[in-house]
Amino acid sequence: MPDTVQQNGHGEGAYNYAYLDEQTKRMIRRAILKAVAVPGYQVPFGGREMPLPYGWGTGGIQVTAAIIGRDDTLKVIDQGADDTTNAVSIRRFFARVAGVATTTRTEEATIIQTRHRVPETSLKDGQILVFQVPIPEPLRMLEPRETETRTLHALCEYGVMQVSLYESIARHGRIAKTYNYPVLVNGRYIMSPSPIPKFDNPKLDRNPALQLYGAGREKRIYAVPPYTSVKSLDFEDHPFEIERWTECCALCGSTESFLDEMIVDDTGKRRFICSDTDYCQERQDGQRR
Amino acid sequence: MYVAVKGGETAIAHALELLADRRRGSRDVPELTLDQIDQQLAQSVDRVMTEGSCYDRQLAALAIKQARGDLIEAIFLLRAYRTTLPRFGHSEPIDTSRMSAERRISSTFKDVPGGQVLGPTFDYTHRLLDFSLMANGERPTAPTAPIDAAQIFPRVGDILEREGMLEPPPPADAGVSTQDITRDPLTLPASRPVRLQALARGDEGFLLALGYSTQRGYGNNHPFVGEIRFGAVPVSFVPEELGFPIEIAEIDVTECDMVNQFAGSHDVPPQFTRGYGLAFGHAERKAMAMALVDRALRAEELSEAVISPAQDEEFVLAHSDNVEASGFVQHLKLPHYVDFQSELVVVRALRAEVEARQQQAALDQAAE
Amino acid sequence: MSDIALGLADPAHDSQRLFRTLLDAFAHPGRIVSLTEGLAGVGSLSPAATAFLLMLVDRDTPLWFSPDLDSPIVRDFVRFHTGAPLVAREVDAQFAFLTLRRAPLLDGFAIGTDLYPDRSATLVIEVPSLVGGPPLTLRGPGIEHQACVGIAGLPASFVAEWSAHRALFPCGVDLVFVAGTELMALPRSIAVES
């Protein structure tokens, strides 16, 4: 076969462009197409050992490595921020092995790899949002066995999830699940949106961007195509709600973004700022102009 | 202003430099060479090759050096390198009966054809610290019998098998390529070849504990060491253009054939069953633990009740990989403050509701 | 071997660009995309089908060609560039290349199982043109409201056949229509009406 290892010309000559060999990329690409064709279904894939630890974004990294090219502009966020250590580390990895342009601006990015957040800025047609997923199976904490959960998905038998949410209401008077809040995709598969706060769930619904989810350790890829219905599970008498803060961002004054709480002194004084650093910065820049 | 765990480019760069510096340690001490690691920490190299699924002593030694002796980290390094290598094909199965064995013991028979060969083993060392190793004196070469390459050690299992006392090994599926767990996703239930691959790569400590649990009643094992052998075996490969096997290397392996009692059934006369373990290099503890767990995982196949962790295929296979486990346990170090913030919001709200209810109750009580 | 057509000039980057175009098509069913990496079609395969083959097919993906596309030229090309096993029965194929002459169009291919709907075939179907055919309306994931397409040469029975096939969801095959250098995807999740 004529393709195999190619020099990438970025000083990492022993490795192929974007780290993965071409055969692996093809395997992942085939899995991605299946994932897009069956929204919310977890496609098993031959996940590879990546040079970053399992649980640190290897699924997202493999998905990104399989789709990224020289024309792309990559943004990487962790907890909404471009400057968290793991985001920096992953961005460095791709700058090194794929020689791509990177950005912190949501609107400039063609691929956004994220852990635990969906950007506040609306995404556009053509952008791809790659989620890092620790546990792809939304039913896992209710049923640890893969053989069982796979059957439940096949039968569309989601009573166990409904019961668990209802128990939460019985106990707390509300659904106390706050992140990794389960969603129903295209009316068929219950899906883990990854551990994003439920605040972000509404952004998944009918989003113009393509959402790809990669779980490296668990070796699963799933997807939500653009404009696809993503419904957070709820009950008629207990509709889905997102978090609200009484505070606003201390830096940009936003009352609409997800806020990080910081303890700023020994007396426990608190300050709230936007979790999405790009969104916050853009707003601050706008106010200065 | 206060910036939480946001480290950034510079912090990471400095951390990497500091780690490299600490790895080197005091410059007054000579730096380790890979040959020293290969020769003098040989069993670390063996473990890294086994669980790293890559037989290359130099690379394993490099990984150990780079990982500061952290073997799981070294296994990780070796695997991440291995995964990038192009795949040309697969070797023929190795034939351990052709092993030029340095050690070979059976605990089921006092004597076996070929004899018991103790070889280099910790088994009968008294675990007394050898303070002479603190001095840098050279050690005289150990007396060894000349190696008889023609010496064949028939496998004890084969002898028992001929008598019908021991089940034959599963037939090789000629022409059917076995699934490669480093390339194909694991699907359950898994075949025995897939399980054995997972166990061979599995964490020695995890398998040791599971194997041990089967001896303590969690899994109904009654094992005997049919045979353990350690030595060099040839590796052959069939190049497509030649169409016949050629010998491409010789590797050291440790093999354990564990013999277990099996009650038999109405139709099947009682027979001993096998658990199998194989590891690169000299790794008896690993090979034995693997053999115990392999046998335990055959419970369903042998119509035994699956009631213990070591018999539970999904539990064992999903948790035996130390690179996966290490990554996921340690990922808890990553920031989770977004998830935690969500929890804070809801816990505060729930607490406020409870407090309001309690206050209301107190007011109601006062009013009565 | 010298008469075998060339593959991708720059495999890593060419196939990446091609794949992103294909992914865009899968993510937007009904959208016509152009696979332009300067490839000529091989045998009776269009340039788009040839590009599809080079970017996604390898020794891990069994292939099937309908008799009217199969030829020694195609086989040599596939063997040399991909190493993919060519299978005699369409049910064994992960990728199938066919024309609209096949009737019924969709029968006989792997559709996966309820447990593993991904174990299904992707059908690359040569059509005369992706425009000018009977108007069809597509709805479903990847489409904001609805998409109108007019694939030339599609038999009148297609809508009914596809509807019946969609009843098997999540099982099913995914379709890729190709004409010249152009391509349009129709994943199994999409509803089609006349």
- Write down the domain spans for chain B: 8-82, 96-120+150-169+179-320
**Residue given tokens 């009316």 in the structure block:** A187
Q: How far apart are CA C162 and CA C191, in angstroms?
A: 8
* Best B77, B82, B84, B240 residue to mutate vs chain A (most A CBs within 10 Å): B84
Chain segment C25-36, per-residue pLDDT in tens: 999 999 999 997
Partner B contacted by A156 (CB < 8 A): no
How much is the average pLDDT of C142-147?
97
Task: Judge if A86 and A129 occupy the same domain.
Answer: yes
Please judge whether C27 and A34 are an interchain contact, meaning their C-beta atoms are less than 8 angstroms apart: no
pLDDT bracket for residue B197 (50, 70, 90): very high
How far is A273 from A116, CA to CA, in rounded Å?
Answer: 17
Peptide bond into B169 cis (omega under 30): no
Would you call A156 a catalytic residue per the annotation? no
CATH number, domain of A219, equals 3.40.50.11310
Q: Are residues A208 and A279 in the same domain?
A: no
Angstroms from B254 CA to nearest CA on chain A: 25
Asked if B339 and A197 come within 8 Å (Cβ–Cβ), the reply is yes
What's the distance, Cα to Cα, between the start and end of chain C in Å? 47
Query: Which of these ranges, A86-95, B151-160, B167-176, C133-142, has the smallest mean pLDDT?
Result: B167-176
Do A85 and A37 lie in a common domain?
yes
Say yes or no to pLDDT of A185 above 80: yes
| CA separation for the pair A19, A10 (Å, rounded) | 11
Q: Which of C56, C60, C113 sits opposite A29 (nearest CB)?
A: C56
CATH classification of the domain holding C159: 3.40.50.11310
Contact A33 C27 (CB under 8 A): no
Q: Is the pLDDT of residue A239 over 80?
A: yes
Q: Are B182 and A258 a contacting pair at CB < 8 A? A: no
Q: For chain B, which chains pass the contact test of at least 3 CB pairs under 8 Å?
A: A
Pairing status of strand C122-126 against strand A73-78: unpaired
DSSP B57-106: HHHHHHHHHHTTT-HHHHHHHHHHHHTTS-----PPPP-GGG-EEEEEE-
Tens of pLDDT, residues B202-212: 999 999 999 99
| One-letter amino acid of C127 | V
Question: What's the confidence (pLDDT) of residue A289?
Answer: 78
- Is residue A248 part of the annotated active site? The answer reads no
Could you report the per-residue pLDDT of A136-168, keeping only the tens digit for each?
999 999 999 999 999 999 999 999 999 999 999
In chain A, residues with a C-beta closer than 8 Å to the C-beta of B336 are 79, 116, 195
Check if B327 contacts A (Cβ < 8 Å).
yes
- Same-domain pairing of A122 and A251: no
Q: Which pLDDT score is estimated for C2?
A: 52
Average pLDDT, rounded, for chain C: 95
What number of C-beta contacts closer than 8 Å exist between A and C? 129
B187 vs A: CB within 8 A: yes
In a domain? residue A147: no
φ, ψ for residue A272 (rounded to 5)? -115, 130
Strand-pairing partners, residue C174, are C122
Does residue A16 register a pLDDT over 80? Answer: yes
Mean pLDDT value across chain B: 89
Q: What is the pLDDT of residues B13-54, one digit of tens each?
A: 899 999 999 999 999 999 999 999 999 999 999 999 999 999
* Contact in structure between A114 and A132 (CB atoms under 8 Å): yes
The residue among B78, B300, B338 with the most chain A CBs within 10 A of its CB, best to mutate, is: B338
Q: What percent of chain B has pLDDT over 90?
A: 54
Candidate from A45, A86, A275 with C-beta closest to B185: A45
Mean pLDDT within A185-196? 97
In chain C, what residues touch A69 (CB-CB under 8 Å)?
13, 16-17, 20
pLDDT given at position C125: 98
Q: Which residues of A touch B182 (CB under 8 A)?
A: 46, 48-49
Among A1, A36, A224, whose Cβ lies nearest the Cβ of C187?
A36
Catalytic residue, candidates A40, A57, A60, A80: A40
Confidence of residue C100 (pLDDT cuts 50, 70, 90): very high
Instruction: Please give the pLDDT value at position B114.
Output: 82
pLDDT band per the 50, 70, 90 thresholds, residue B1: very low
Q: How confident is the model at residue B254 (pLDDT cuts 50, 70, 90)?
A: very high
pLDDT band at A189 (very low <50, low <70, confident <90, very high): very high
Is B7 within 8 Å of chain A by CB?
yes
Q: How confident is the model at residue B217 (pLDDT cuts 50, 70, 90)?
A: confident
d(CA A256, CA A20): 40
Measured between beta carbons, which residues in chain A are less than 8 angstroms from residue B183?
27, 46
Residue A158 lies in a domain: no
For residues A250-261, average pLDDT: 94
What is residue B177's predicted lDDT score, i.e. its pLDDT? 64
Kindly state whether residue A159 falls inside one of the protein's structural domains. Answer: no
Nearest chain C residue to A22 by CA: give it: C12
Asked whether residue C193 is domain-assigned, the answer is: no
Please list the residues that pair with C138 across neighbouring strands.
C147, C192
Q: Does A267 touch chain B (CB under 8 A)?
A: no
Cβ–Cβ < 8 Å for C164, C188: no
pLDDT reported for residue A66 = 97
Whole-number pLDDT of residue B3: 40
As a whole number of angstroms, the distance between CA B298 and CA B293 comes to 9
Lowest average pLDDT, out of B272-281, B313-322, B342-351, C89-98, goes to B342-351
Asked if B171 reaches chain A (Cβ–Cβ under 8 Å), the answer is: no
pLDDT computed for residue B203 by the predictor:
98
Is B318's CB within 8 Å of A146's CB? Answer: yes
The SS3 of residue B39 is helix
Reply yes or no on whether the pLDDT at B151 is more than 80: no
Residues A97 and A199 occupy one common structural domain: yes
Instruction: Closest CB to B6: pick one of A81, A172, A195.
Output: A81
Tell me if B82 and A146 make a contact (CB, 8 A cut-off): no
Q: What is the pLDDT of residue B7?
A: 56
Q: How far apart are CA A54 and CA A77, in angstroms?
A: 17
Same domain (yes/no): A216, A258: no
The answer to whether the CB of A183 falls within 8 A of the CB of A191 is yes
Name the residue among A1, A41, A226 with its Cβ closest to that of C27: A226
Do C56 and A6 make contact, defined as CB atoms within 8 angstroms?
no
Which range, B106-110, B241-245, B293-297, has the best average confidence (pLDDT)? Answer: B293-297
Task: Count Cβ neighbours within 10 Å for each residue of A1-37 and write b for 16 or more, e otherwise.
Answer: eebebbebeeeeeebbbbbbbbbbbbbbbbbbbbbbb
Angle at alpha carbon of residue C54, lines to C51 and C55, rounded to 5°: 85
Q: Which of C170, A156, C31, A191 is nearest to C188 (CA)?
A: C170
pLDDT over threshold 70, residue A1: no
- Residue B174 pLDDT > 60: no
Nearest to C118 among A43, A189, A210 (CB): A43
Q: Give pLDDT, residue B134.
A: 86
Interface test with B, best of A85, A102, A198, A203 (most B CBs within 10 A): A85
Minimum CA–CA partner of B9 in chain A: A88
Domain that holds residue C47: 11-187
Q: Give the residue on C whose Cα is nearest the Cα of A20.
A: C12
Minimum Cα–Cα distance from A46: chain C residue: C60
**CB atoms A226 and C142 under 8 Å:** yes
Residue A263 belongs to what domain range? 244-289
Task: Confirm whether C81 is domain-assigned.
Answer: yes
Task: Establish if A86 belongs to a structural domain.
Answer: yes
Q: Which residues of A touch C165 (CB under 8 A)?
A: none
Determine the distance in angstroms separating the CA of C139 from the nearest CA of chain A, rounded to an integer. 11
Looking at beta carbons, which residues of chain A come within 8 Å of C147?
none
**Of C19, C142, C144, Cβ closest to residue A29:** C19
Give the mean model confidence (pLDDT) for residues B154-179.
78
pLDDT value of residue B2? 35
Q: How is residue B291 annotated by DSSP?
A: H
Please state the rounded mean pLDDT for residues C138-144. 98
CB-CB contact of B181 with B198 (8 Å): yes
In terms of average pLDDT, the best of A107-111, B5-9, B212-216 is A107-111
- Share of chain A residues as helix, strand and coil, in percent rounded to the nearest 5: 30, 20, 50
Question: Residue B330: what pLDDT?
Answer: 94
Residue pair A220/A59 in contact by the 8 Å Cβ criterion: yes
Can you tell me the mean pLDDT for B296-303?
Answer: 90
The count of structural domains within chain C is 1
What does R_g of chain B's alpha carbons equal in angstroms? 27
Nearest to A16 among C12, C24, C116 (CB): C12
Q: Quick: pLDDT tens for B327-350.
A: 999 999 988 888 888 888 888 888
Residue A274 among the catalytic residues: yes
A29 and A131 share one domain: yes
Domain membership of residue C79 (yes or no) is yes
Find chain B residues with C-beta within 8 A of A259's C-beta. Answer: 341
Per annotation, catalytic residue among A11, A59, A249, A253: A249
Closest residue in chain A to residue C80, using alpha carbons only: A1
Are B232 and B198 in contact by the 8 Å Cβ rule? The answer is no
Of the candidates C16, C83, C143, the beta carbon closest to that of A69 is on C16
Name chain C's partners: 3 or more CB pairs within 8 A: A
pLDDT band at B145 (very low <50, low <70, confident <90, very high): confident
- Tens-digit pLDDT profile for residues C145-170: 999 999 999 999 999 999 999 999 99
Say whether residue B82 is in contact with chain A using an 8 A CB cutoff: yes
B335-349, C11-25, C108-122, range with the lowest pLDDT = B335-349
A143 domain residue, yes or no: no
- B11 vs A contacts (CB less than 8 Å): 85
CB pairs under 8 A between A and B: 154
Nearest-angstrom CA–CA distance, C49 and C30:
17
A281 touches chain B (CB under 8 A): no
pLDDT of residue A85: 86
DSSP run (H or E) holding B354:
helix B337-367
Choose, out of A54, A267, A274, the residue to mutate when testing the contact with B (most B CBs < 10 Å). Answer: A54
pLDDT for the residue A101 = 94
Q: How far apart are CA C61 and CA B358, in angstroms?
A: 65
For chain A, what is the domain count? 2
Handedness of CA C81, C83, C88, C90 (dihedral sign): negative
Q: Which residue of C has its CA nearest to A185?
A: C141
In the prediction, which pLDDT does B4 show? 40
The answer to whether residue A6 sits within a structural domain is no
Q: Is the pLDDT of residue B324 over 90?
A: yes
Instruction: Determine which one of A126, A173, A252, A253 is catalytic.
Output: A252
Q: Average pLDDT, stretch C76-104?
A: 95
Report pLDDT for B141: 85
